[in-house]
A and B are shown apart, each in its own frame.
Chain A
Amino acid sequence: MLSKRVVACLDVRDGKLAKSVKFVNTRDIGDPVEKARQYYLDGLDELVFYDITASSDRRRIILDVVEAVAEQVFIPLSVGGGVRSVADATDLRLAGADKINVNSAAVRRPALIAECADAVGGQNIVLSMDIRHVGASRAFPSGHEVVIDGGRQPMGIDALAWVREGERLGAGELVVNSIDADGTRDGYALQLTRMISDATRLPVIASGGAGTPAHLYEVLTEGGADAALVASMVHYGNYTVSGLKRYLNERGVKIRMSW
């Protein structure tokens, strides 16, 4: 059987590593290439880069980062942030990204998912969703709404409806990022993650809220996630990737333990 995955997310701004709290107040915390290599050697299963550069030369910067990391890190690399076209996706693939994350641009123009899936293979397209709890209503039967642009812009789209649409359009994997949990370190949005895992055949990466090893355990068991994404937990040195994996393994989660 497949192992559950521990995935580290590196938010990259202007080629440097940044970490946000509730999607604002980002601050630089180091060199992404160095961190990526460190996590790789410590047993990381997959790496995600999220480009939050705002400047106009952003594409070149992130391509350079991806290329530098791909030379040193031999696990799957997933890259997102500002992917708006097939050209963005193919450029990132050429630079060394295995998987391409689409988010805001796909909500604005869902055909982007199908176009990218066609160009680089659906299994390599990750639909990354920022989701906010709004309470169940006629407009939001799942009680959750899709937001975009780093969590600022509500889109009036029900989260489960978007999951189904993303799967239909050919996405190969989902990142479920809870805006409410992001940066809190109080734990993943378990109910949201479970609801989405139960509604799709695509692998689900849970994102937002990890603060302790127990949070990863919960989301990989109760939450039904295939992978748990961590950021600040490991970036600030409070926990190590290998330590998290040992914790999960000791509690019976199937996890890759030799690297």
Chain B
Amino acid sequence: MIVIVDYDAGNVRSVQRACVEVGGDAVISNDPAAVADAERVIFPGVGAAGAAMRNLRARGLDAALVAAVEAGKPVLGICMGMQIALDRSEENDQETLGLVPGQVRRFAFANPALKVPHMGWNAVSVRRPHPLLNGLEQGDECYFVHAYYPAPADLEVVCAVADYEGEFCCALARGSFFATQFHPEKSGRVGLGLLERFAAWDGRA
């Protein structure tokens, strides 16, 4: 059973529908006990880092997520669920979960033709093989919507990058935690494939 963590930060039902499409058994919950009991956990989210952390802490979900990762349970972060796994975000100057050392920074471009948020389809290039990225081919694109990007301190965690006036980390892994900046639930076949592999993943790289 996959538990999709609901903390008022996004379209959890889109993620659930995509899990159902690939044959995953997924429920939505905001209960830390459900996270503790889950076989695997998806941690989605859009919106601002400050509100996301407030909502997580108010329900005790922050500690539940950290405990799940420490226990070696497969956990997938998506978008804001990736960003708040790092130590700190420039958005709302917010301290975050600290599952992965590093910062989250805002895109800042001198070129006015480059738009923020980075919104649309962009190519995902695999930098380090990972079971969840098996099957991704050169040129495969995923759907992004974000104004901030993760900058992990340890480049070893970077699994894939995308290019938006320079490369940024769009997929990372640390132990049984895997996260994407893009939205697999909105990335067609490529994204569904990732979710299908997550539904069967044992949490080991």
In the complex, whether B173 has a CB less than 8 A from a CB of chain A is: no
Complex Cα distance, B17 from A5, in Å, reads 24
Residues from chain B with a CB closer than 8 A to the CB of A187 are none
Residues of A within 8 A of B14 (CB): 70, 96, 98
Q: Considering only CB atoms and an 8 Å cut-off, how many residues of chain B contact the other chain?
A: 36
A173 touches B141 (CB 8 A): no
Q: How far is the CA of A230 from the CA of B151 in the complex (A)?
A: 38
Look across to chain A and name the residue whose beta carbon is closest to the beta carbon of B22.
A74
Interface size on A, residues (CB 8 A): 30
A123 closest partner in B (C-beta):
B117
Residues 1-56 of B at the A interface (beta carbon under 8 Å) = 11, 13-14, 17-18, 20-21, 46-47
Cβ 8 A contact of B13, one of A96, A226, A257 = A96
Q: Mark B154-186, 1 if CB is under 8 A from A, else 0.
A: 000000000110000000000000000000011
A234 to B115, CA, bound (A): 29
Selected interface stretch from B65-73, B83-91, B97-105, B187-195: B187-195
Contacts of A172 in B (CB 8 A): 117, 119
Task: Find out whether the CB atom of B46 lies under 8 angstroms from the CB atom of A121.
Answer: yes
Given the interface contacts A76-B186, A123-B117, does A258 sit within 8 Å of B141 by beta carbon? yes
Q: Is the CB of B139 within 8 A of A257?
A: yes
With A74-B191, A123-B117 known to touch, is A2 a contact of B18 (CB < 8 Å)? no
| Across-interface contacts of B112 in A (CB, < 8 A) | 201
Give every chain B residue within 8 A of A182 (Cβ-Cβ): none
Q: Are A40 and B164 in contact (CB under 8 A)?
A: no
Question: What is the minimal beta-carbon distance from A42 to any residue of chain B, in angstroms?
Answer: 11
Within 8 A of B (CB), among A121-145: 121, 123-124
Q: Is A256 an interface residue (CB 8 A)?
A: yes
B121 and A2 form a contact (CB under 8 A): yes
Give the complex CA separation of A45 and B187 in angstroms.
Answer: 9
Quick check: A74 and B140 within 8 Å, CB to CB? Answer: no
Inter-chain CA distance A173–B120, complex, in Å, is 11
Q: Which of A5, A71, A98, A202 contacts B186 (CB 8 A)?
A: A98
Residue in A3, A93, A202, A258 whose beta carbon sits within 8 Å of that of B120 in the complex: A3
A-B contact pairs, 25 of them (CB 8 A): A1-B122, A2-B118, A2-B120, A3-B120, A40-B188, A45-B120, A72-B21, A74-B17, A74-B21, A75-B143, A75-B187, A96-B11, A96-B14, A96-B17, A121-B46, A123-B117, A123-B119, A124-B145, A172-B117, A201-B115, A226-B120, A227-B120, A258-B139, A258-B140, A258-B141
